[in-house]
Amino acid sequence: MNLSSLTLNHHHHHYPTTTFVHKKLTPHSSKHSTSFSPIKMSLTENAPSLAIVGVTGAVGQEFLSVLSYRNFPYRSLKLLASKRSAGKQITYEDKPYIVEELNEDSFKDVDIALFSAGGSVSKKFAPLAVEDGAIVVDNSSAFRMDDGVPLVVPEVNPEAMKHIKIRSGKGALIANPNCSTIICLMAATPLHRHAKVKRMVVSAYQAASGAGAAAMEELELQTREVLDGKEPTCKIFKQQYAFNLFSHNAPVLPNGYNEEEMKLVKETRKIWNDAHVKVTATCIRVPVMRAHAESVNLQFEKPLHEDTARDILKNAPGVVVIDDRAGNHFPTPLEVSNKDAVAVGRIRRDVSQDGDYGLDIFVCGDQIRKGAALNAVQIAEMLLK
């Protein structure tokens, strides 16, 4: 992938409360862009039937955008949400849909169900969907560490779900990893395959979108309030977010790590199928709208020169290298917002380690896109192969 695919395209994101309109988007346009490519209808009689759970949320809306621009085939589409959102209208590919209330009977005749409505909803309804024969791709943390549930990044470990077949008469669960894990492993895995990572230290700078559409709205509101000299509204977070940063708002565990940090540790081990790889993480919430940034330090079993690493990453699927030392131009959250690719830069030898056994890299990726919706849709696409 070349740098031209990461042209700047940043917009404020508002998630309406009543009517949503989705048209066919180009792969690198914002879903609020006014420029649309010609519509290619994905509605196909012999295609799978789809359901989206949590469709009115930030990731649910992104599901629709990604399905549309990737021209995902479907014969029917069921949009599901809470009772509060039921009855709202969403126009998708020029066809109006009414959001239905999620219930125990929602998954009759559904082949693929994309879930992004939180862990408690997934725990209650995903098993019911599986019982009805659906393949569930779940974006919550509810099943990620369960034995027998594949935890998949298609560019990293597609083999983990090879046994799952659509329309086999048997439903199944596939878990979408945490956003910070996906973004990190998109960059670290190609290097891991070449030189085997012994230890990985991650510092993650996480955007508002990771806490949902309401957090994005609060960040924008707080920014306006602070600039106007007003007291900031703190409903989603317990402290000022605008012009500030703080330790990730996930609960802190007895070992001193928060849940977000331990997700990165445990999920990496499962995805790499390596219980012994050493991973530590620090996760910080920063006042950025929708793309995460991560500083990643890698220690290898085999030597890996920084130039070789750069070449490996340039050829890695779903990765773009932005590593201009002369121009001091490296990945930024703004540049990857609304983009599919994970950007990597600051590729350099770790001078604290002898020889070429360590590297530092800096990674940015759109938390809603590759960190959630795109990864889930790519999983669904693999089911069609």
Of 22, 192, 248, 292, which residue is the catalytic one? 292
CA separation for the pair 226, 241 (Å, rounded): 10
- Bridge partners, residue 174, by sequence: 137
CA separation for the pair 126, 146 (Å, rounded): 14
Between the two ends of the chain, the Cα-to-Cα distance in Å is: 23
Q: Is 292 a catalytic residue?
A: yes
- Bridge partners, residue 22, by sequence: 92
Who's near 14: CB < 8 A, 6+ residues apart? Answer: 32, 217
- Bridge partners, residue 100, by sequence: 80
Tokens representing 14 are: 């508002």
Full 3-state SS string of the chain: CCHHHHCCCCCCCCCCCCEEEECCCCCCCCCCCCCCCCCCCCECCCCCEEEEECCCCHHHHHHHHHHHHCCCCECEEEEEECCCCCCCEEEECCEEEECEECCCCCCCCCCEEEECCCHHHHHHHHHHHHHCCCEEEECCCCCCCCCCCCECCCCCCHHHHCCCCCCCCCCEEEECCCHHHHHHHHHHHHHHHHHCEEEEEEEEEECHHHHCHHHHHHHHHHHHHHHCCCCCCCCCCCCCCCCCCEECCCCECCCCCEHHHHHHHHHHHHHCCCCCCEEEEEEEECCCCCEEEEEEEEEECCCCCHHHHHHHHHCCCCEEECCECCCCECCCHHHHCCCCCEEEEEEEECCCCCCCCEEEEEEEEECCHHHHHHHHHHHHHHHCC
- Name the residue type at position 29: S
Of 13, 179, 192, 364, which residue is the catalytic one? 179
Catalytically active residues are 179, 292
